[in-house]
Amino acid sequence: MTAVDWRCYLIPAGPARAPVATAAAAAAAGAGVVQVRAKDATTRELLDLTTRVARAVADLAPNTRVLVDDRADVAWAARRAGAPVHGVHLGWDDLPPRDARALLGPDAIIGLTTGTLELVKAAEEIADLIDYVGCGPFRRTPTKDSGREPLGVQGYPPLVTATRLPMVAIGDVTPTDVPGLAAAGVDGVAIVRAIMNAPDPASVVHAVLNGFAGSAQLRGAIDG
């Protein structure tokens, strides 16, 4: 399996656009990760949505990873049914990472939510069980209230240096934020509304990827 491209991490949630078609279009444009999130869905509805998203994404972008938000059991059921689902993203109130790893196996991708130095350090202590951390909020967002204060760009460097794990910034991130976040050291940005509300989702994905490329070029020029 190829390395995970964390740069553009889509969460196709909300009512603005059909999640299956948008996830597939974004993956085809270069989004490396898609996380299926449907907080109000029943278990069977979430399993059906996850399966449809995973198959649509795999048809157009087989290297894009599809994860399930919160529900390791749904990820397991989808994988058992043969859907190309790669893992789960967990919060601290969800199934513990050790149990999720036992359920999903060594090849699964497991992410964990963080957003403070204490949480990042706690995640680092179980870095052998998880593959990346989500970290936010970058700014306040109506899609999820974490109860934590927004980090802003300046909040990320100390968190990045506290872990060996890839870090994905989340919280109302837009393409214009990407160069600053990339320069702060994050490996990717989770995007919800900026893609789901866009007339052309692929163009937003391209803008995110270009933001990381521009930041790398800038750092290279400075280091050189």
| Residue-averaged pLDDT of the chain | 93
| Percentage of the residues of the chain whose pLDDT score is greater than 70 | 92
Is residue 26 in a domain?
Answer: yes
Q: Identify the pLDDT of residue 17.
A: 75
Which pair of tokens denotes residue 90? Answer: 């967990």
Residues in the chain: 224
Is residue 3 in a domain?
Answer: no
Is residue 1 in a domain?
Answer: no
Q: Identify the pLDDT of residue 126.
A: 98
> How buried is residue 170: exposed, middle or buried, by Cβ count under 10 Å (0-12/13-18/19+)?
buried
Per-residue pLDDT tens digits for 65-116: 999 999 999 999 999 999 999 999 999 999 999 999 999 999 999 999 999 9
**CATH for 113:** 3.20.20.70
Contact between residue 98 and residue 128 where contact means Cβ atoms under 8 Å apart: no
Q: Identify the pLDDT of residue 221.
A: 38
Q: How far is 140 from 68, CA to CA, in rounded Å?
A: 23
Q: Is the peptide bond before 142 cis (omega within 30 degrees of 0)?
A: no
What value, to the nearest 5°, has the Cα angle with vertex 120 and ends 116 and 122?
A: 115
Which pair of tokens denotes residue 107? Answer: 């090849």
Confidence bin at 15 (pLDDT 50/70/90)? confident
Which pair of tokens denotes residue 109? Answer: 């991708």
How far is C-alpha 143 from the chain's CA centre? 14
Q: Identify the pLDDT of residue 145.
A: 64
Is residue 120 in a domain?
Answer: yes
Is residue 2 in a domain?
Answer: no
Q: How far is 193 from 171, CA to CA, in rounded Å?
A: 10
Number of domains in the chain: 1
Per-residue pLDDT tens digits for 104-127: 999 999 999 999 999 999 999 999
Q: Residue 44 is part of which domain span?
A: 8-223
Model confidence at 147: pLDDT above 90: no
pTM of the model: 0.94
Q: Identify the pLDDT of residue 215.
A: 65
